[in-house]
Amino acid sequence: MKILVAVKRVIDYNVQIRVKEDGSGIVTENVKMSTNPPDDNAIEEAVKIKEAGKATEVIAITVGEEKSQETVRKALAVGADRGIHVKADGIIEPLAVSKILQKIVEKEKPDLVFMGKQAIDDDCNQTGQMLSALLDWPQATFASKIDVKDGKLEVTREIDEGLETIEVNTPAIVTCDLRLNEPRYASLPNIMKAKKKPIEQINASDLGVDISSKIQQIKVEEPPKRQAGIKVSSVAELVQKLKNEAKVI
Amino acid sequence: MAVLLIVEHNNKELKAFTLNAATAASQIDGEVHALVIGNNCTDAAKAASELPVVKKVIQVEAAHYENFIAENFAPVILKLAENYSHIVCSANTFGKNLMPRIAAKLDTSQISDIIKVVSKDTFIRPIYAGNAFATVKSNDAKKCVTIRPTSFDPCDNSGGSAPIENADAGDEFTTTKFIKREEIKSDRPELGTARIVVSGGRGMQNGDNFKLITAVADKLNAAIGASRAAVDAGYISNDHQVGQTGKVVVPDLYIAVGISGAIQHLAGMKESKVIVAINKDGEAPIFSVADYGLEADLFEALPQFLEELNKLNTIQK
Ligand SMILES: Cc1cc2nc3c(=O)[nH]c(=O)nc-3n(C[C@H](O)[C@H](O)[C@H](O)COP(=O)(O)OP(=O)(O)OC[C@H]3O[C@@H](n4cnc5c(N)ncnc54)[C@H](O)[C@@H]3O)c2cc1C
Ligand SMILES: Cc1cc2nc3c(=O)[nH]c(=O)nc-3n(C[C@H](O)[C@H](O)[C@H](O)COP(=O)(O)OP(=O)(O)OC[C@H]3O[C@@H](n4cnc5c(N)ncnc54)[C@H](O)[C@@H]3O)c2cc1C
């Protein structure tokens, strides 16, 4: 069984982002970038399945500018076997990413595609579902537990009401929640070994799909700032303020 | 052209957030049609027809719609799509799971989680965990939009009498099977719509200590929330998580107890009308958004809080 894992390079989740003064976007120069956090869970799960003898190959793929290769390299350092970097500059919307992934899936014929449930930059939460629609595959989104069975997966999904369990036949798409597992750190020897693992580079323009933006970003602005209020000195004062000043209880 | 609102329901009743999504739909265009897909869902269709903003209800019935599997829903919606300029749904786990499947098939770039309708093609949505607001314009002929429910008021739920039409069911998608749903039932108000939310974080130390939160929540008729750290540590179940990767809440009063205030948590609660923080670390970032901050040990503060509440003659419900 072959598992393809999509990893995206995003601004590190610890960075306090800044909006550009001209409203054209977010400041990305000299900002720490890293792998989209749930994508680390997606790689970890794929590698664990391989270590359990249930998969034969784990391929990490990213779509993006030259530097997104680092994201694939990191996936190789924690156990992916090889990488694919589809080169594309500028804004690539989830629909375009899913069309690119569709082409790669048709070529690589994986049994499973693992991805993150949402990217923490645009918070779109779309790409996996779009890919499964394009392929007409089942989708198991927001996964917090995966059991691999013969030709099937049993997946526990985190939904608003609690948990839902579904069974999907392979080939299938799974989008991963942060609670799926605890991603490992890359050891130094494995980082060295990863440097020798192959990364195939493909130009998005050679795949014959329309990746032009269909959403025009008109402006990006800072949300209204919330002002810090006051500190109260006792619980009694707090309750009195909530009752008589804020009038919420 | 009209707007198609995908109704979220449990076959009997509408889910509360459908009313918020209906408001957003009616701001896009006055002609809102509500699509109710389910199994024995006549009651839900009737409830949808009573929303005054809805001009027509389309009901689609089949046994394989019982569990709301997106793979089964998508073909029905795609068949109806040609009559509509917009397809809208709440941006909760139901809508997030379903809408991209429709958008991809329509070759449309979906606009996720809008907080404001500027015009028929322009919307405002938060990005980077709500640290920036992007105004975006869709150039697609058909628009697929998910709505952040807490950013729109619920519409009236009575007084309407829209006609109900039936439409044909689609085929069953056989490679996805529903097994079970573990819903945590409680008599408490729902987290997403509660007037007051009391949330606990890692500072609670264990699941048992959450009874301190429960006692206060009971007194205030509040919903219970939690940080991701508290859920990850197993103190409380995932449906309580507030934040970027959990639920977004906008209550009148949000009480954060033993929560540091990471940006991913703030993303889910910083629009609350009044925020209270109880934390023993005076430097905790949660204090920078709190209207009332109490620097104290929660294990002393929560029992005192309950005591003070007990002294009040009346508490708003
Ligand atoms: C102002 C602005 C500037 C932007 N600039 C850039 C830019 O310079 N470079 C850039 O790459 N993007 C950029 N983007 C983001 C881009 O437009 C898309 O929104 C993004 O690639 C997909 O959306 P998402 O990540 O929120 O999708 P989601 O649907 O939330 O992502 C879910 C999952 O899909 C997979 N996935 C998504 N995208 C990729 C990918 N590219 N490669 C591999 N797997 C993926 C991951 O597994 C991810 O966890 C920009 C966006 C905006 C608004
Ligand atoms: C991609 C991504 C997505 C995320 N999504 C979310 C999300 O949706 N929601 C979310 O909440 N987090 C999310 N997180 C995690 C987030 O970054 C923080 O790690 C998390 O919110 C911390 O939870 P906490 O405040 O309970 O714990 P901590 O940060 O450990 O804070 C505990 C607080 O309790 C206080 N405390 C301890 N003991 C006491 C006491 N006796 N009395 C009073 N105060 C006490 C401490 O002073 C401290 O401030 C996400 C992270 C990532 C990377």
Question: Cα–chain-centroid distance for residue B125?
Answer: 15
Chosen for mutation from B78, B93, B174, B220 (greatest number of chain A CBs closer than 10 Å) is B93
Is the predicted pLDDT of residue A155 greater than 80, yes or no? yes
Q: How high is the pLDDT of residue A225?
A: 85
Q: For the domain made up of B196-311, give the CATH fold.
A: Rossmann fold (3.40.50)
Give the pLDDT score at A121: 73
pLDDT above 80: residue B94: yes
Cα nearest neighbour of A222 on chain B: B132
Mean predicted confidence (pLDDT) in A173-196: 96
What residues of A are in contact with residue B103 (Cβ under 8 Å)? Answer: 95, 126, 130
pLDDT tens digits, one per residue of B268-287: 999 999 999 999 999 999 99
Mean pLDDT confidence for B228-248: 95
What's the pLDDT score for residue B206?
Answer: 98
Portion 181-210 of B in contact with A at CB < 8 A: 181-184, 192, 196
What average pLDDT is seen over chain A?
95
Domain limits, chain B: 2-166, 196-311
- What is the residue type of B134? A
Q: In the 3-class helix/strand/coil scheme, how is chain B assigned residue by residue?
A: CEEEEECCECCCCECCHHHHHHHHHHHHCCCEEEEEEECCCHHHHHHHHCCCCEEEEEEEECHHHCCCCHHHHHHHHHHHHHHEEEEEEECCHHHHHHHHHHHHHCCCCCEEEECEECCCCEEEEEECCCCEEEEEEECCCCEEEEECHHHCCCCCCCCCCCCEEECCCCCCCCCEEEEEEEECCCCCCCCCCCCEEEEECHHHCCCCCHHHHHHHHHHHCCEEEECHHHHHCCCCCHHHEECCCCECCCCCEEEEECCCCCHHHHCCCCCCCEEEEEECCCCCHHHHCCCEEEECCHHHHHHHHHHHHHHCCCCCC
Residue A94 CB–ligand 1 contact under 6 Å: yes
Looking at residue B183, its pLDDT comes to: 86
Ligand nearest to the backbone CA of B245? 2
Contact B92, B19 (CB under 8 A): no
Tell whether ligand 1 has an atom less than 6 A from the beta carbon of residue A63.
yes
Confidence of residue B186 (pLDDT cuts 50, 70, 90): confident
Can you give the CATH number for the domain in which A184 is found? 3.40.50.620
| CA A175 to centroid of ligand 1, rounded, Å | 15
- How large is the average pLDDT for residues A174-190? 96
Q: What is the pLDDT of residues A71-83, one digit of tens each?
A: 999 999 999 999 9
Q: What is the mean pLDDT of residues A9-25?
A: 92
Half-sphere exposure of B85 (CA within 13 A, CB side): 15
Residue A20 has pLDDT above 80, yes or no: yes
Q: Is the pLDDT of residue B311 over 90?
A: yes
pLDDT tens digits for range B122-147: 999 999 888 899 999 999 999 999 99
- Average pLDDT over chain B, rounded to an integer: 96
Question: How many whole angstroms separate alpha carbon A110 and alpha carbon B30?
Answer: 46
* Averaged pLDDT for residues A89-105: 95
Q: What is the pLDDT of residues B39-49, one digit of tens each?
A: 999 999 999 99
Concatenated DSSP letters of A17-40: --B-TTSS-B--TT--EEE-HHHH
This model of the complex carries an ipTM of 0.92
Closest in B105, B237, B292 to A230, CB measured: B292
pLDDT at A92: 92
Residue nearest to atom 4 of ligand 2 (CA): B264
pLDDT of res. A10: 93
Neighbours of B136 (CB within 10 A): 21
Q: What percent of chain B has pLDDT over 70?
A: 100
Task: Please compute the mean of the pLDDT values over residues A207-224 and round it to a whole number.
Answer: 93
Give yes or no for residue A123 having a pLDDT over 80. Answer: no
Q: How many domains does chain A have?
A: 1
Q: Which two tokens stand for residue B70?
A: 């997106």
The yes-or-no verdict on residue B317 having pLDDT over 80 is no
**C-alpha distances in angstroms, B2 versus B48, B86, B142?**
16, 7, 11
Q: Contacts of residue B308 in chain A, CB cutoff 8 Å? A: 235-236, 238-239
- Between CA B15 and CA B56 the distance in angstroms is 18
pLDDT digits (tens, 9 = 90+) for B159-168: 999 999 999 9
| Closest in B71, B113, B232 to A139, CB measured | B71
The answer to whether B29 faces chain A, any CB pair under 8 Å, is no
Q: How confident is the model at residue B8 (pLDDT cuts 50, 70, 90)?
A: very high
Looking at residues B22-37, what average pLDDT do you find? 98
Residue B230 Cα to ligand 2 midpoint, Å, equals 7
Instruction: Please compute the mean of the pLDDT values over residues B8-33 and round it to a whole number.
Output: 97
Find out if CATH 3.20.20.210 is the number for domain B2-166: no
Structural domain that includes position A29: 2-245
Question: Is this model's pTM higher than 0.80 or not?
Answer: yes
